[in-house]
Structure formats: structure tokens, C-alpha cells
Amino acid sequence: MTAEARDRYHHGDLRNALLEGAVQLLAEGGVEAFTLRELARRVGVNHRAAYRHFEDKRAILAAVAADGYRALAAKMRAAVEASERDEQLERLLSMGRAYIEFGVDERARYEVMFGPRLNEDGRFPDLEAAISESVRVLSAELRRVAPDVPKEKIRDSGIAFLSAAHGFVTLRLTRRVRARRELLPSYATTVLRPVVRGIIDDLAATA
Amino acid sequence: MTAEARDRYHHGDLRNALLEGAVQLLAEGGVEAFTLRELARRVGVNHRAAYRHFEDKRAILAAVAADGYRALAAKMRAAVEASERDEQLERLLSMGRAYIEFGVDERARYEVMFGPRLNEDGRFPDLEAAISESVRVLSAELRRVAPDVPKEKIRDSGIAFLSAAHGFVTLRLTRRVRARRELLPSYATTVLRPVVRGIIDDLAATA
DNA sequence: ACCTGAACACCGTTCAAGT
DNA sequence: ACCTGAACACCGTTCAAGT
């Protein structure tokens, strides 16, 4: 280890170095290939050093997942904010595309966000908060579509929307969607449009 | 090991004993907790014995996944066959409920079916075939809705349907859906109905 | 405060045998 | 044919120390 590297870690950068290394390691071989010792090797520290910043291996994965949800929420928010104010179908489609793009582009983080059973027990409240933040971006947008509908209805619509978006990402990542036209960015819109239309019509009928 | 048990294995039952033990082990702690050595311990054989029936650990998971897809296809088929002949919305909803029920009831197998990166390389053609079989059940049903639509359109609709169904299962299994009313069997229908209606309307508009 | 190194009880997989 | 047992190169985590 260079003196410069040692200084960085002594100033608290090891935590970030570990998180960045984790994402890279996960990108290469998925959660199965992610080991504490290999991560430490790459970052250039003894494998015990990670325990200074994370309680255990799962805590590193939980931190990666929480970062992922925050980045996802930001991307979803940016997508709707860049859309026309009164085109509800297009606004929601734009958010759906943002979601799917995130999942495909950030495969390593995305798989951790939905993969291992991280929030079985009540550990990792930071992860819970990050998940809630991303759900709130969606709920706020659905509320614009139907301002006077009961909140359970908004929640049901949000679950339908997230189901479709997450499901599509999964089909992409597991290569169930792989024909040439299905890999085009526009294909997500082709698949989502009828679904989102159905959700909007249903909200309108309830109002 | 009892003499009786040894006889069973010598007559080729070890393979099934391993598969059954694997599902149980997976149910307890997910893929992370699934180890060859623990599996062998439970079945009562040396851990090397598994290699007589499976090339490696991944091959056991692939066999569990393939069995899962075959069971899922059977359940989906039974659901539509029990439905009214000319109620297309209800037929598809019934199939969606069957899918979701399978995912929730058979969590261990379901997670393996979508979890680890099993079909990265072209290994496990039996798994590929089982996946195709379950997709075919859905395509046949969508074809009934729109007999004259191009086959790409059927495929797109199938992907939308599967996205929603798989996504919903994931939200259940990761406990993003957990309020009391959301755990009722009927809740799947509540969420799926607008989505399926959107897909059917879209197919009808194309025809 | 922050990092290391040896030790422990586990893995999956290979090799060489046993019946 | 079918199963075993020792060995190898790995794990995550704990304990006791080093600077």
C-alpha cells in the first residue's frame, strides 16, 4: 500500500473505497461472487479492516442497496420533472423508462436491491428509508393523476406500476427479453404503455 | 444410514432425495444458506455422493428451477382450463392469480427460478425448455384474445403480463406488500385487473 | 483510532481409493 | 456402479495484538 493510499483510509475514505469496490465486484459475478476477502484484496487492505466500517458482510450489501434506492429515486424524480406538466400518461411512462433504464444500466446494484433477503429482520433502517423515498416519488405522481381518490387506491396503483417496471427489468436481466427489437430503449415504452394506460383509466374510473 | 435407506439410493432415489432436501434447505434460508455439504448431511450421505447425480452445485439449483417451471406451467394451465370459455379478462386474471399463488406458496423454488444467474452460459437446456413451456401456456391464452394479431404483438403482451405477475410476487416476497388487505388472496386480482384490462384493450385496438 | 495476523469452523471441488 | 475420505484453496467471523 502506498503512503498516499494509507492516508486516505486513515481519513475515512475506506468506507467509500469499499462501497465502490463492492459494486464493481458485484457487477462481475453477482452476489455469489461477492466476498469480503476479495473485496479487501482489491481495495488493498487486510480483510479485517472492513469490520471497522461495516458490522458484517450483509451490512455492506445493505449500504450498496440503500445507495441504489437513493439513486433510483433521484432518477425517477428527474424524469417526471423533465416531462410536460399535463401529459399524465407520458409523465408516468417517462418515470417507468427511467426505472427500467436504472435497472438495466446499474445491474449490480439493482440485483442487490432485490436479491438477497436483507430486510428480513428489522436491521438496516437506512435501507428502509431509502426504499420509502423511492416509493414516495411514485405516489406523488399518481396523486396528480387522481387527486381525490383514497390513499389505498394510490397505493394499489403504485404497486401495479412497480410490479410491471420491476418485472420488466427482471425479464431483461435474466435474458428472457433478448430479441433485437426487445433490447431497444423504446421497447420498454411499448410494453409499459398498455399497462400504464390501464392504471390511469382505473384511477379515473374511481375518481 | 439404515440398510433400507442405502438400498433406496442404490436404486437411483438419491437424486430425488437431494432435490427434495434442496427445496427444504432453500425454504429455510434462501440460496445463501444452500450448501452442498449441509444438503448431503440431511439426506444422510457423504457430500461427494451428490456428484454422482449432479455435475456441481449450480446443476442442483438448475434442476430445482426446471421442476419449478414445469409445476408453474401446470398450475397456470389448470387455472385457465377451469375458467369460463368466453370470459377473457377473467381467464387471464385467473392465470395471473395462479402465477402469483405459486410464487408465494413455493417461495423457495420461485427464488431459485429467478435468483442466481443460472442460464448465463448455454448450460442447462432442460431449464430453458421448462421456461419455454410456461411461456407457451401464456401465449396460447393471449392468442385466444386476439387471433389475428402479429406474433410480435402476442409476445409483447406476454412480456407485459409476466412483468406484472413476476413483479407482484417479488414485492410480496421482499415484504414491500404487507398491509393486512394486501396479503389477502383477492388483492392480487385488485392489482392485476387494471393491468390486464390495459393489455386486452391494447390487443383489441391492434386487431 | 485504525489496521493486522493467526485461528476456527465452515465451503465447493479434485484425487485416489474402497466395496 | 456407487459411495467414501483426505486434501486443497477458499470463505466469514472472532480474538488478541500491533502502531
Q: What is the pLDDT of residues A43-86, one digit of tens each?
A: 989 999 999 999 999 999 999 999 999 999 999 999 999 999 99
Nucleic strand C within 7 A of Cβ B56:
yes
User: Which amino acid would we find at residue A164?
Assistant: A
- Please state, rounded to an integer, the average pLDDT across all residues of chain A: 92
* Chain B residues inside the 8 Å CB shell of A114: 170, 174
- Please state, rounded to an integer, the average pLDDT across all residues of chain B: 92
Which positions on strand D lie below 7 Å from a protein C-beta?
2-6, 10-16
Q: What is the pLDDT of residues A82-141, one digit of tens each?
A: 999 999 999 999 999 999 999 999 999 999 999 888 877 788 999 999 999 999 999 999
To test the contact with chain A by mutation, choose from B163, B178, B203 the residue with the greatest count of A C-beta atoms within 10 A, namely: B163
Does residue B39 register a pLDDT over 90?
yes
Contact of A164 with chain B, judged by CB distance below 8 Å, is answered with yes
Contact of B192 with chain A, judged by CB distance below 8 Å, is answered with yes
Give the confidence band of A173 by pLDDT, cuts at 50, 70, 90.
very high
All three cell numbers of A112, joined, read 442487490
* Chain B residues inside the 8 Å CB shell of A116: 30, 32
Contact B143, B154 (CB under 8 A): yes
Q: Closest partner residue to A201 among B155, B176, B194, by Cβ? A: B194
* Chain A residues inside the 8 Å CB shell of B168: 159-160, 163, 167
B113 Cβ neighbours under 8 A, 6+ residues apart: B65, B68, B69, B72
Does residue B130 register a pLDDT over 70?
yes
Q: Which residue of B has its CA nearest to A118?
A: B174
Q: Which CATH superfamily is domain B64-206 in?
A: Tetracycline Repressor, domain 2 (1.10.357.10)
| Gap between the Cα atoms of A105 and A38, Å rounded | 24
Residue position matching grid coordinates 441504489: A68
Does residue A16 register a pLDDT over 60?
yes
Q: Using a pLDDT cut of 90, give the percent of chain B over it.
A: 83
Closest nucleotide to B36, Cα to C1': C12
| Gap between the Cα atoms of A27 and A25, Å rounded | 5
Per-residue CA distances from B34 to A21, A32, B103, B177 (Å): 26, 12, 19, 26
Domain ranges across chain B: 3-53, 64-206
* Chain A residues inside the 8 Å CB shell of B127: none
Nucleic strand D within 7 A of Cβ A36:
yes
Query: What's residue B12's pLDDT?
Result: 65
Q: Which CATH architecture has domain B3-53?
A: Orthogonal Bundle (1.10)
Residue position matching grid coordinates 423454488: B109
Evaluate the CA torsion angle B98, B206, A170, A130 in order and state its sign.
negative
Quick check: A202 and B193 CB within 8 A? yes
b/e burial code for range B114-150 (CB count within 10 A of at least 16 → b): bbbbbbeeeebeebbebbebbbebbeebbbebbeebe
Name the B residues in 45-84 with CB < 8 Å from any A CB: none
Average pLDDT of the segment spanning A193-206: 97
